């Protein structure tokens, strides 16, 4: 009998329909996310505010997405969407109030089961601990900038120092000492900065408080041409940003000037943040912020509203951008380490934010709206093994897409009920395989801080149609090409009647596709009633 010839492994794999690529080493994943980092404050997007050389490096050596967006522009819902690959009405984390339902399947759990070593350091904001991680150290709730508390699997601890540096030290320490060389890793490296109240490190506030930044064209927006929601939102620099907590004027100085903060909130927050610092940190702080308070006491009495607005804008930008300087610098430390360790080639490095943020555009800070500065988020990805350096994509990708992207990159099948789409075709230069024409958005947290009304909508390249509901019933339509600043709601303009009719059909369709409905809207309103958040 003729001896049987055993085919080689490669032939077997080819016969089974596998390509050579699938037998390659699985990539590491370094997911870097900050909290409330506006794309307007990344020089790869625009350098009118500051330089971010390290985030830019990821973009330059990889791909920059100029139309990345979120499904619900607020912290915890965005994080839950990233981990589950589902819209917020499906995973149930619709806002920052309700705890995350840990029976949801998350992509880190799947990667861990598939042999990835997994770790998370920084801000999660779920009200419970992450599942699927071999190691984690997370900030409780929003966390603190100075000498922050951490929750760990071994109990709680306080670490002395500045939060952005500490989260990076924890990340680097794990990569250096805990990483097993025979397994790929998933690292979630999650900054608290630049979240409100924008408290910078000493090395950055010294420099940034000396600087003056260009004002946005819409700083003095009066919201004419927009709906009720824009008029009633409480996120205007002049009216809602506090001089003490946000602008760092000492409470006794502000009180002396007769400045009223709503229910002393700003004063209390300033005091609680300041009291976290040790005596050296306080002394350094006082050297810089003491004179700022004194100068404010001298100039405030002569300020009219527009001068006060301008002063607040500068104070806001000085601290916010100084926080980003620390984020960028620390990302540089991690990239340098990956370089040294020979890990850069086969590590997917992602930099993104949990949502966008207003930097004075429309007179606002905060986010929540479907409007661009809030809805869009920065996204740059570096993976030399697959992504050509200097790539750019204008496709409308979402935080919804991360889970399936990472699972595909790791060769792990994605559960059928995940709702995103893997970004692999866009990463690997095959945009023809990507055919998304519209994205869906739904914001719920109302009534709540900043008072942005509940709304959902559909966004295409050309238009944005949104329905504000619950205590209003208003529609808004923006022509994204003709009116990129979204100043004119053209919903009632007869010239757009056909567009409205067409988009309403598409909105119904996309709501059905993602399994959202009027019944679910009512269900989540009822959940607020049950919790006595509304009557």
Can you give the binding site for Ca ion, defined by CB under 5 A? 35-36, 75, 354
Phi, psi of 90, deg, nearest 5: -90, -50
Among 26, 240, 362, 450, binds ligand SGN (CB under 6 A): 450
CA atoms in the 13 A half-sphere facing the CB of 513: 14
Taking residues 358 to 397 in sequence order and writing x for each that binds ligand SGN by CB under 6 A, - otherwise, the string is: --------x-------------------------------
- In a 3-state reduction of DSSP, which class is residue 138? strand
Among 131, 192, 195, 454, binds ligand SGN (CB under 6 A): 195
- Residue number, 143 or 227, with CB nearest to Ca ion: 143
Binding segment for ligand SGN among 97-105, 106-114, 192-200, 401-409 (CB under 6 A)?
192-200
| Residues 163, 192 contacting (CB under 8 angstroms) | yes
- Name which of residues 276 to 315 contact ligand SGN (CB under 6 A): none
Among 29, 36, 363, 407, binds ligand SGN (CB under 6 A): 36
144 scored as a contact of ligand SGN (CB under 6 A): no
Distance CA 456, CA 521 (A): 10
- Name which of residues 96 to 115 contact ligand SGN (CB under 6 A): 96
Query: What does 485 bind: Ca ion, ligand SGN, none (CB cut-off 5 to 8 Å by kind)?
Result: none
74 scored as a contact of ligand SGN (CB under 6 A): yes
Beta carbons within 8 Å of 340's beta carbon, 6+ residues apart: none
- Shortest CB 445 distance to ligand SGN, Å: 8
Read off the tokens for 196: 């409100």
Read off the tokens for 63: 């791909």
| Residues 436, 458 contacting (CB under 8 angstroms) | no
- Shortest CB 285 distance to ligand SGN, Å: 18
- Residue number, 142 or 271, with CB nearest to ligand SGN: 142
Distance CA 54, CA 330 (A): 9
197 scored as a contact of ligand SGN (CB under 6 A): yes
268 scored as a contact of ligand SGN (CB under 6 A): no
Strand residues in 86-193 grouped as ranges (E): 117-123, 135-139, 149-152, 155-158, 185-190
240 scored as a contact of ligand SGN (CB under 6 A): no
Give residue for tokens 């339509």.
477
35 scored as a contact of ligand SGN (CB under 6 A): yes
CA distances to 250, 331, 397, 495, 513 from 439, in Å:
44, 30, 8, 24, 11
Q: Is 208 exposed, middle or buried (0-12, 13-18, 19+ CB in 10 A)?
A: buried
Query: What does 271 bind: Ca ion, ligand SGN, none (CB cut-off 5 to 8 Å by kind)?
Result: none
| Partners of 122 in the β-ladder | 138, 190
221 scored as a contact of ligand SGN (CB under 6 A): no
By the criterion CB under 6 A, which residues form the site for ligand SGN?
A: 35-36, 74-75, 96, 125, 142, 195-197, 269, 366, 449-450
């Amino acid at each position: 009998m003729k001896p049987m010839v055993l085919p080689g492994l490669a032939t077997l794999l080819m016969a089974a329909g596998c390509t050579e690529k699938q037998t390659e080493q699985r990539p590491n994943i370094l997911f870097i996310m900050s909290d409330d980092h506006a794309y307007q404050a990344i020089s790869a997007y625009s350098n009118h505010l500051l330089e971010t050389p390290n985030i830019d490096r990821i973009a330059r050596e990889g791909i920059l997405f100029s139309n990345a967006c979120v499904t619900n522009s607020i912290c915890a819902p965005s994080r839950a969407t990233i981990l589950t690959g589902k819209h917020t009405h499906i995973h149930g984390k619709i806002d920052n109030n309700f705890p995350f339902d840990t029976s949801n399947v998350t992509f880190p759990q799947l990667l861990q089961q598939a042999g990835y070593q997994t770790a998370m350091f920084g801000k999660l904001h779920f009200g419970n601990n992450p599942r699927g991680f071999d190691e984690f150290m997370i900030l409780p709730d929003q966390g603190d900038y100075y000498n922050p508390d951490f929750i760990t699997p071994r109990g709680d601890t306080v670490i002395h120092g500045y939060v952005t540096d500490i989260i990076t030290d924890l990340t680097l320490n794990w990569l250096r000492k805990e990483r097993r060389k025979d397994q790929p890793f998933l690292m979630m490296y999650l900054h608290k900065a630049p979240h409100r109240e924008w408290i910078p490190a000493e090395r950055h506030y010294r420099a940034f408080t000396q600087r003056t930044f260009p004002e946005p064209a819409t700083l003095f927006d009066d919201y004419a041409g927009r709906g009720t929601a824009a008029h009633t939102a409480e996120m205007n620099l002049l009216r809602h940003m506090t001089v003490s907590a946000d602008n760092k004027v000492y409470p006794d100085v502000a009180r002396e000037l007769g400045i009223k903060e709503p229910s002393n909130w700003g004063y209390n927050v300033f005091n609680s943040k300041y009291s976290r610092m040790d005596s050296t940190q306080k002394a350094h702080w006082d050297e810089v912020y003491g004179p700022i308070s004194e100068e404010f006491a001298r100039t405030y009495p002569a300020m009219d509203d527009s001068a006060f607005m301008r002063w607040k804008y500068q104070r806001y930008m000085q601290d916010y951008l100084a926080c980003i300087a620390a984020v960028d610098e620390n990302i540089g430390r991690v990239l340098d380490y990956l370089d040294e360790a020979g890990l850069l080639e086969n590590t997917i490095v992602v930099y993104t934010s949990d949502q966008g943020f207003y930097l004075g555009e429309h007179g606002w800070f905060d986010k929540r709206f479907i409007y661009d500065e809030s809805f869009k988020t920065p996204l740059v990805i570096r993976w030399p093994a697959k992504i050509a350096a200097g790539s750019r994509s204008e496709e409308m990708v979402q935080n919804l897409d991360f889970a399936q992207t990472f699972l595909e990159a790791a060769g792990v099948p994605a559960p059928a009920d995940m709702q995103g789409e893997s970004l692999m075709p866009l990463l690997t230069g095959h945009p023809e395989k990507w055919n998304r024409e519209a994205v869906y958005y739904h914001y719920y947290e109302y009534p709540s801080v900043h008072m942005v009304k509940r709304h959902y909508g559909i966004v295409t390249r050309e238009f944005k149609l949104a329905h504000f509901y619950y205590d209003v019933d208003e529609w808004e339509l923006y022509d994204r090409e003709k009116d990129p600043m979204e100043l004119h709601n053209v919903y009632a303009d007869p010239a757009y009647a056909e567009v409205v009719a067409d988009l309403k059909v598409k909105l119904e369709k996309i709501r059905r596709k993602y399994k959202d409905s009027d019944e679910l809207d009512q269900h989540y309103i009822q959940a607020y009633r049950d919790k006595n958040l509304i009557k």
